[in-house]
Amino acid sequence: MVYFCYFHLLFHVMRIKPEFDLIPEEGWRKKIYEIVYLSHTKAGKIFDISLLILILFSTILLMVETIPIIRLQYYKEFYYAEFFITLIFTIEYILRIICIKDREEYIFSPLGIIDFLSIIPFYISLFFPIWHFVAIIRMLRILRIFRIFNLADYMHDGRFIVSALKHSSRKIYIFLLFMIIFIVIIGSLMYVVEGGKNGFSSIPQSVYWAVVTITTVGYGDISPGTPVGKILSIIVMLCGYSIIAVPTGIVTSEFRKQKKNNFQCQRCGNQDNDEDARYCKTCGEKII
Amino acid sequence: MVYFCYFHLLFHVMRIKPEFDLIPEEGWRKKIYEIVYLSHTKAGKIFDISLLILILFSTILLMVETIPIIRLQYYKEFYYAEFFITLIFTIEYILRIICIKDREEYIFSPLGIIDFLSIIPFYISLFFPIWHFVAIIRMLRILRIFRIFNLADYMHDGRFIVSALKHSSRKIYIFLLFMIIFIVIIGSLMYVVEGGKNGFSSIPQSVYWAVVTITTVGYGDISPGTPVGKILSIIVMLCGYSIIAVPTGIVTSEFRKQKKNNFQCQRCGNQDNDEDARYCKTCGEKII
Amino acid sequence: MVYFCYFHLLFHVMRIKPEFDLIPEEGWRKKIYEIVYLSHTKAGKIFDISLLILILFSTILLMVETIPIIRLQYYKEFYYAEFFITLIFTIEYILRIICIKDREEYIFSPLGIIDFLSIIPFYISLFFPIWHFVAIIRMLRILRIFRIFNLADYMHDGRFIVSALKHSSRKIYIFLLFMIIFIVIIGSLMYVVEGGKNGFSSIPQSVYWAVVTITTVGYGDISPGTPVGKILSIIVMLCGYSIIAVPTGIVTSEFRKQKKNNFQCQRCGNQDNDEDARYCKTCGEKII
Amino acid sequence: MVYFCYFHLLFHVMRIKPEFDLIPEEGWRKKIYEIVYLSHTKAGKIFDISLLILILFSTILLMVETIPIIRLQYYKEFYYAEFFITLIFTIEYILRIICIKDREEYIFSPLGIIDFLSIIPFYISLFFPIWHFVAIIRMLRILRIFRIFNLADYMHDGRFIVSALKHSSRKIYIFLLFMIIFIVIIGSLMYVVEGGKNGFSSIPQSVYWAVVTITTVGYGDISPGTPVGKILSIIVMLCGYSIIAVPTGIVTSEFRKQKKNNFQCQRCGNQDNDEDARYCKTCGEKII
């Protein structure tokens, strides 16, 4: 699932701080390291903030570029701007690599891969124009904002949300499997009931309708036309109504579990003691 | 309700493992039993996995078949593929029956019924073509995946979700009864207010609109046209907004109840000890 | 609010059981009382069940009647059916009144009022046809089902839901006030932004759009056309997304509070002790 | 974010009661102070209630005024009514200022600013007509209702909701950041997949679609046309389904946290005593 990949990525970005584990090179390369990776010096802070602005600017550029009227008029200008920004990102990427000793660790870390994916689409797009928009992935680099501005509280909350989602993912997966089977069966039923009319032209189309309905999105591009179809969709909607409660229930109870500030026992190492525990529940040791 | 039937079915599929209770026949039939029912031997595993692939493949086939362009061109091919797959499923079904002693138990178990419903629609469709699509029910056989790959954790979570839904079903039923009465009254009111225009051509039609609105699906195929109708639907929408909280509240609190199985301490009487606690968290007393 | 009136009504219907408090007349009227009000005798049970069927039947009749094709063809038949059903309900209503001593108590109880509203619309509709559909209110009489079939568990759950809604109603009211102010401001802003075009022809119309959007119903009969309008509605939608969590939070926490089985203290009468309390939290008395 | 500004404003309006901190002038100005600021005298109550009615009336006026048919016919009448109401509000504003000693405190308090914003748009609109509708902000003055009618319970609940939202705002902010990045990436992907057709004419447009879909609003003004686009939007919808659970989880757990203020027992260490407990519920010890 695209969505969980995204959250697993967030999880890695939020947990791994390659900057603190990377070993800088000696001499002038260490200077670069301090500017490029760290943000407690003035030069480093300026570098980071101007990079952030550039990322935001280039993301907006990529989006605005696609508006037909603007594209026709300023095609050239956008091309040069994109070229220039990619050049800066490429230089930055090279600097990041040459100023550290353990290069593989950075290159294959999630952040390193995102940095790489921010520049490569432009070079590919010279041959395959469609690849151009993959560069939007550079938006993920904005997540660096938390470290740059030292937003520890925000980062902690972000990690909290991602962790709660990660822990509830197995239940969500299985719930989605149940849902998908249910949706396919309902979609097929609806195809038979509507007799291939009113937009229900095939089972995949009816399945699309079933998803739109159960998730309460309801575009209205396909809607039942026959009385029996309407009765069936009333049932489906009322079901969707109670089903929507399930992921909420899963995530909410996970949020509450996460909330507990589990204490580790000194003697047996059990980390699962409740916030209000005074004795370890595994070995009975007093917790201070 | 279709939906709760579905979840009750899931409940049975997840709980009953006919394979472990069935008594195999002697001799060569026992060999078949080990391949068809069990999956710890190599032959059994291969059999199970190829069956899973076949189920998935045939489900996709059934869906793709209905796309008008594809149907016109490959009608014959689809027919033969479906014939071939049903033949395999029929042989498998016969094998499953002849290699066990207590045949009734398998035939009338939920899994046995699903297996039967996976093959019979093809034979009926020779006479009544519309029955053809009932075969989509074979998708439910995918639920075997958990046992085949020994996904005990997933199965436990699945059973947890289904059980929480089962326990909250009585409250959901009564909530739905309240909702249905409310929806019918609102629908009638709307029919009177809109005067049979703007798509509100009859009370059943208005009731359909009321369901679409309260569940926040909102297709937009019917929407109020008169000022009074708009004011009334504003009220209905704001109601739907607070009502959607009810099933969520029901399921969430059920999820939480399912979660804990608190033990009471013998010494201090603290009842808030976790399921896996071995010592009371308040006084440190050992729990038996 | 229509909706809370409805739930307050449910609350009364579920709580008050006029049948057990009413004092029957003597003689033959007592016989009628036992049939009409009680359902433990065979005659009473038959009476109640046939009444239920009649209510359901007449509700469906009222709905089906409005379908244009059916109405044109069977106008006469529907009229006579409605006349006949109302006659039966009128006789039942008279019987209910004459067989008890404290007639005011029944007549002015919620159930008595509903019984009255089930018959009177027919007589009014002889002069004012539009009143005809008010008779749909008789659907509320279906709620008697719980008592008739002795569904104590269902009734308890129903009362639980209604009580949780009642207790959270003050918070919901104030939340709705906040929402309404927010919606009016957003609606006005949108009217100015879209400049009276794209369906945003007046502020009331824009407010209607704002409600449709924030409640995530999204008919699509009005949707923003200008870029600024789209940006504004993106913000409104993301808000609606977080706001929908508020009623859920209110009701869910109310559900949990309701769940606790509070014990009353023997000494001080405090009824708010937790389920797991061993000493009264107000006076310190031991709870048995 | 518009929305959080609104709730932060509510927070201030609900917390700060300028009336109780302001020092009145002497002599006749004190009399005015008692009428204008306080509501325990009869004159003060009458003043407050008539003010409330005037606010409500002028809000409805502003809304109704924009309906094209009404505007054309009664343009003059609306203008004079608005002129008259603004005059009264201006006099009231001047009275509020002259009868207190610490004028800055009132003028720059949230309530003072709202009072000012209720009158100034009219004067600006003489030169820039578009400013006219900013006057709708005066609706916020309705929040005074709680103090005027002494609705302490409602005010407490209002403060509770606002406070829960305030405490969960950091998590909501970061969740929205995650969402926005996800939405932009999905929007771009959809733009590429649909190839600029079916309403996906540019990335900003596709992002608008992604917001409409993930928040389950689903206008249907833009909906996917190609098979790949439909499959992608099925994934997005199923994601939106699980994502909607996150803000609910955040707010619900915040609601629960707000609710309790548990005291720890001195003797047995039980930390689960309720806010209003006077004796420990586990050991019966008195709590100080």
The confidence band for D211, taking pLDDT boundaries of 50, 70 and 90, is very high
Model confidence at D6: pLDDT above 50: yes
User: CA B111 to CA B117: how far, in whole Å?
Assistant: 10
> CB B203 to CB C276 under 8 A?
no
> CB B246 to CB C251 under 8 A?
yes
Q: Are B92 and B116 in contact (CB under 8 A)?
A: no
**So what's the pLDDT on residue D199?**
85
User: CA D78 to CA B228: how far, in whole Å?
Assistant: 23
**So what's the pLDDT on residue B16?**
47
CATH T-level topology, domain B159-250: Helix Hairpins (1.10.287)
User: CA A268 to CA B189: how far, in whole Å?
Assistant: 67
Task: Find chain A residues with C-beta within 8 A of B282's C-beta.
Answer: 277-279
Task: Find chain B residues with C-beta within 8 A of C208's C-beta.
Answer: 230, 233-234
Model confidence at B206: pLDDT above 80: yes
- Which amino acid, residue D288? I
Q: Which of the pair, A115 or C17, is modelled with greater confidence?
A: A115
- Tens digit of each residue's pLDDT (9 = 90 or more) over B215-261: 888 898 888 988 999 999 998 888 877 787 888 888 888 887 765 54
- Which structure tokens are listed for B136? 């989509």
Q: Which pTM does this prediction carry?
A: 0.86
**So what's the pLDDT on residue A18?**
45
The confidence band for B11, taking pLDDT boundaries of 50, 70 and 90, is low
Closest C-chain CA to B210: C217
Whose CA is closest to A144, among A12, A14, A7, A6?
A: A14
The chains in contact with chain B, meaning 3 or more Cβ pairs closer than 8 Å, are A, C, D
The confidence band for A170, taking pLDDT boundaries of 50, 70 and 90, is confident
Backbone angles phi, psi at C29, to 5 degrees: -65, -30
- Tens digit of each residue's pLDDT (9 = 90 or more) over D59-69: 998 888 888 88
Model confidence at B18: pLDDT above 50: no
Model confidence at D134: pLDDT above 60: yes
- Residue ranges of alpha helices (H) inside chain D are 2-15, 18-21, 28-36, 42-64, 68-98, 103-107, 110-125, 145-148, 152-194, 203-214, 227-243, 245-259
CATH pick for C13-154 out of 3.40.50.620, 3.30.70.520, 1.20.120.350, 1.10.1040.10: 1.20.120.350
Closest C-chain CA to D141: C181
- Residue ranges of alpha helices (H) inside C132-282 are 145-148, 152-194, 203-214, 227-243, 245-259
The confidence band for A23, taking pLDDT boundaries of 50, 70 and 90, is confident
User: CA B169 to CA C1: how far, in whole Å?
Assistant: 28
Lowest mean per-residue pLDDT among B98-112, B117-131, C141-155: C141-155
Model confidence at D91: pLDDT above 50: yes
Q: What is the mean pLDDT of chain A?
A: 81
The four Cα atoms D231, D235, D236, D237 give a dihedral, to 10 degrees, of: 100
Whose CA is closest to B164, among B248, B245, B260, B252?
A: B252
Lowest mean per-residue pLDDT among A229-238, B33-42, D221-230: B33-42
**So what's the pLDDT on residue D286?**
66
> CB C279 to CB D283 under 8 A?
yes
> CB C212 to CB B174 under 8 A?
no
Model confidence at B285: pLDDT above 80: no
The confidence band for D84, taking pLDDT boundaries of 50, 70 and 90, is very high
**So what's the pLDDT on residue B283?**
66
Q: What is the mean predicted confidence (pLDDT) over C6-15?
A: 65
Model confidence at C263: pLDDT above 80: no
Q: Percentage of residues in chain D with pLDDT exceeding 70?
A: 82
Q: Which residue has the tokens 């059990």?
A: A270
Task: Find chain C residues with C-beta within 8 A of A217's C-beta.
Answer: 218
- Which amino acid, residue B49? I
The confidence band for D207, taking pLDDT boundaries of 50, 70 and 90, is very high
- Which structure tokens are listed for A263? 């204490």
Model confidence at A16: pLDDT above 50: no
> CB B248 to CB C244 under 8 A?
no
Q: What is the mean predicted confidence (pLDDT) over B155-160?
A: 80
Q: Which residue has the tokens 């309008």?
A: C229
User: CA D285 to CA B281: how far, in whole Å?
Assistant: 19
- Where in chain A is CATH 1.20.120.350? 13-154
Model confidence at B145: pLDDT above 60: yes
Model confidence at C69: pLDDT above 60: yes
Whose CA is closest to C14, among C150, C156, C116?
A: C156
- Where in chain C is CATH 1.10.287.70? 159-250
User: If you ran DSSP here, which 8-state letter would residue C26 be given?
Assistant: S
- Tens digit of each residue's pLDDT (9 = 90 or more) over C165-219: 888 888 888 888 888 888 998 899 899 888 878 889 889 999 999 999 998 888 9
Q: Which of the pair, D14 or D249, is modelled with greater confidence?
A: D249
CA distance D27 to chain C (A): 38
Q: What is the mean pLDDT of chain C?
A: 81
**So what's the pLDDT on residue D18?**
45
Q: How many interface pairs between A and C have CB atoms less than 8 angstroms apart?
A: 9
Who's near B163: CB < 8 A, 6+ residues apart? B11, B258
Task: Find chain C residues with C-beta within 8 A of B201's C-beta.
Answer: 67-68
How crowded is residue A56: how many other Cβ atoms within 10 Å of its Cβ? Answer: 15
Residue D283: which region, alpha, beta or left (left: phi > 0; alpha: psi -120 to 50)?
alpha
Q: Of A30-39, D72-81, D104-113, which one has max mean pLDDT?
A: D72-81
Model confidence at A196: pLDDT above 80: no
- Residue ranges of alpha helices (H) inside A99-199 are 103-107, 110-125, 145-148, 152-194
Model confidence at B152: pLDDT above 80: no
**So what's the pLDDT on residue A101?**
83
The confidence band for D85, taking pLDDT boundaries of 50, 70 and 90, is very high
**So what's the pLDDT on residue B282?**
63
Model confidence at C261: pLDDT above 60: no
> CB B220 to CB C218 under 8 A?
yes
Q: Which of the pair, D280 or A243, is modelled with greater confidence?
A: A243
Among A220, A248, A252, beta carbon nearest to C220? A220
Q: Are D210 and D237 in contact (CB under 8 A)?
A: no
Among A208, A251, A278, beta carbon nearest to D246? A251
